[in-house]
Structure 1
């Protein structure tokens, strides 16, 4: 498979499997159909009443908007506004500083939402818009994409597919703050493994593991 250079960073051509073609061509319709139908059900049956409830709690917890939107890198390096429930107090560093353990910017209810993945639920709207997938590599802030594309070989490969609400890296422990380049390399390699080994059953497994982590809580989520 021939892979062209994206707008920022480059993609190595020597390792990409033909399975990527299967995602783009053979299985794209099935994956998109699942994304749309699953997200529509979640939005209509759950978010329609859950969003007003969460909105009240967020407003009582701290001043500011209910939703937080941030430009992140999407498929083929195309930026899009990623939606989340606001879990931080209003601050000037939100678009370039990653959340850290014990981060003073995070509200009390925000900490709970991040621990249980509730803050990510508005991204089902991104999926309905076609900007994201239910499962895929998590989208990064534009600054992180710019920085890591220079430091990590094959970093941009993860943008061959749509970013996900959840992903293989997240359910296998690669979530949270990345203080060192090596930590990000491991996460990127896990994302690339997902792309190479994608199947509908793998997506279903990741969804089920994410639901389990939502009820259990994730120690790396902060």
Structure 2
């Protein structure tokens, strides 16, 4: 991932917060014909491992050998930034459109996991993570055990041993304070949820 110095996200707490907030990523590996395969999957990042699962019927996992290199792309809020948002547009006109976004790339080695106990633990961990904060969290134990066992037969587990973490936050850090304030105001004015999320992320940047 190309990351200019001022867009680099290196704080581990913030990187993990972004990944946990999104809760899913695009798993990318090379297929048997050399072309990339990609599947979007919910995830749990636990220590130096990312735990995932996909449908047994999905052919993607069958191309994964032991320790297959893989890339997991997690993207946060993103939005189009119009030159009209910049106060500097009226001053000199030297402005162009851009795209603001946040992303984390997790690179490592992938292993397929098919054992029942691992799958049950992964699904339970993922469910508990996603349900946390709800007034009445649902638990895998709320479903009949026989039904859960049947459902587990329809999935396959994947474990990514993370070797490299790259984080990027492109939120107009290269613009003046006045231009950035204009972007925040412009994004909020669109009424789009994704634009408001980007504006909120801009306001959370250190120093703001």
Under a length normalisation based on structure 2, what TM-score does the superposition of the two structures give? Answer: 0.22
Which one has a bigger Cα radius of gyration?
2
More helix by share: 1
Q: Normalised by the size of structure 1, how large is the TM-score? A: 0.21
